[in-house]
Chains A and B, each alone.
Chain A
């Protein structure tokens, strides 16, 4: 089999690349696909923390590249889902320990045995970005509805377009707050898509559950009730090629809210 290699990138830091990688990876594995997550953020690794696998890491990607272990030995299997494994970044090294060809080689080996290889890219456009993109054929650009993040995403999309290997680039809009959009304090989804002009693959609402899920080392897609978890599950389905409607973020939640909403509609009719 030949799996798909998808790089998850953003340019700007802190917009949710790693959270997105962990959640899409977990969601795809839950669908029954074999997934490997690669953390390429050498020296500032976080993906292992989000998955709660930090205590299981013995070998890292640098050990594989410097031939201290076999690729298979360095793959850390997820606690819950045997379809998901992680190739961790080295915490005690920096981006110069790896080059683009080496990473491409690893991606090529991994895609022979897996359906999906998701590469979590570091922030920035330097060596780390070039490494992460090297083996990928698809890209997901994560951004938030803020000018700075959108500017950086635009720059990244420009860079990705110059790479021949990248066949598709999709946009994932993270940390959306519908009530701020309503009051015109935040750019709307349409505004962002209008600026960046690439197809949208997901809209993730701001969710405080992300913080607890990060601290617990448990991706939020495992939480059936969380709105962000549902949004990520839908993204995974879209990655698989399914047509899934975007989450209706305006839908009021809770019993009282629904009643209020019903009254509001009634009033509008009258």
Chain B
């Protein structure tokens, strides 16, 4: 057995969670993944104190995803007592069960893109048999997206990171940092664990997959990088419903949700203070510095300037369950890819 794994299951390291809310939030993020089904889960809870009821709800959460708690690892006495009363095994993880601690590369995932059939004349094309089905064989490989560039830097309280994320963390002390970063690393832990176990392939973990659209930009659009701050902003305080389109020659700010089936098309940035579930096209006239941001970025398609990305099929749920827990995200173009940054939660 490979180091760091248990049979038919995996270890979730939650020992860096600051409080119960964060712990449950992170755990639920992990448990949302479909491949968790039927697996045994070992929880590393660290020193956090869990009451019996809290542990019960964690257990219920895991069981609701058709998984089981195998055992927990904790240093807290309170948690140990609760676990015993709830009937969850407490065990010290031996060293060979430790999760890997080696630093990982920032995840830039390499994914296959899909091709939208290009300009061939449909009617007149000579190679009639191949006319519709020429996609699969010639998939190109393009690097795509997601996740953090943030890495802990010893003795330095500030992270060199992307614009926008930066100012949030500029004031962060080293102490806080050490607590915030692992919460993101946790996802990585899960991913690496799961991926090397053959549970999940790379594409499954990526939130968006670029569509190879070629030159889909309208003809009058030219790639440019005008500062979106200079553009006017349309402010909307409403829910966008299926079939509704908002188009504006500037930035769009929506306070409310954008339901699946809606379209937001802006020359500049798109900001949704709510759940973004429809199609969002920022920089529709070719502004590559435009960004899409939302409290919950769940757009069915994410388009920035000439780059179009579809949501991964594994995340194809028509409606997002409303919760009070949001991880604001921001999408932008970097080196010809759409990159999504998670704004880390600060409790």
Nearest to B135 among chain A residues (CB) is A77
Q: Contacts A72-B120, A73-B119, A92-B263 hold; do A55 and B311 have CB atoms under 8 A apart? A: yes
- Quick check: is B116 within 8 A (CB to CB) of the other chain? yes
- Tell me whether A209 is interfacial, beta carbon within 8 Å: no
Find A70's partner among B122, B128, B260, B308 (CB 8 Å cutoff). Answer: B122
Q: Which residues in A have their C-beta under 8 angstroms from that of B213?
A: 58
Of all chain B residues, the one with the shortest Cβ separation from A92 is B245
Q: Tell me if A258 is interfacial: C-beta within 8 Å of chain B.
A: no
> Number of A interface residues, CB 8 Å?
28
Contact: A109 with B301, CB < 8 Å? no
Question: A72 contacts which chain B residues (CB < 8 A)?
Answer: 117, 120-122, 125, 131-132
CB neighbors of A among B191-217 (8 A): 211, 213, 216
Across the interface, name the chain A residue whose C-beta is closest to B261: A91
A194 to B135 Cα, complex, angstroms: 48
- On chain A, the residues within 8 Å of B119 by CB distance are 70, 73
How many A-B residue contacts, CB cutoff 8 Å?
73
Who on chain B is nearest to A34 by CB? B132
A27 part of interface (Cβ distance < 8 Å): no
Q: Taking the complex as formed, is A49 at the interface, i.e. its CB lies under 8 A from any CB of chain B?
A: yes
- The answer on a CB contact under 8 Å between B131 and A55 is no
Given the complex, which residues of A lie within 8 Å of B117, measured CB to CB? 70, 72-73, 75
Using known A-B contacts A56-B211, A92-B245, determine if residue A73 contacts B118 with beta carbons closer than 8 Å: yes
**In the complex, per-residue mask of A60-85: 1 if CB is within 8 Å of any chain B CB, else 0:** 00000000001111010101001101
Known contacts A55-B300, A58-B116, A91-B261; decide if A71 and B122 are in contact (CB<8 Å).
yes
| Chain B residues within an 8 Å CB radius of A75 | 117, 132
CB of B218 to closest CB in A, whole Å: 8
- In this assembly, does A3 line the interface, its C-beta being within 8 Å of a C-beta of chain B? no
| Cross-interface CB contact of B316 among A34, A55, A73, A82, cutoff 8 Å | A55
Q: Which of A155-206 contact B (CB under 8 A)?
A: none
Contacting residue for B123 out of A79, A85, A112, CB 8 A: A112
Inter-subunit contact B136/A82 (CB<8 Å)? yes
The 10 A-B pairs of least Cβ separation, nearest first, read A72-B122, A55-B310, A71-B122, A92-B245, A82-B133, A55-B311, A72-B117, A55-B300, A91-B261, A91-B243
Other A-B pairs beyond A49-B318, A91-B263, 13, CB < 8 Å: A34-B132, A54-B316, A57-B301, A58-B301, A70-B121, A72-B120, A72-B121, A72-B132, A79-B313, A82-B135, A92-B243, A112-B123, A215-B318
- B residues within 8 Å of A by Cβ? 114, 116-123, 125, 128, 131-133, 135-136, 211, 213, 216, 242-245, 260-261, 263, 300-301, 308, 310-311, 313, 316, 318
A-B contact pairs, 26 of them (CB 8 A): A34-B132, A44-B243, A54-B260, A54-B316, A55-B300, A55-B301, A55-B310, A58-B216, A58-B308, A70-B120, A70-B121, A70-B122, A72-B120, A72-B122, A72-B131, A73-B117, A73-B118, A75-B132, A83-B133, A91-B263, A92-B244, A109-B123, A112-B123, A113-B132, A215-B318, A217-B313
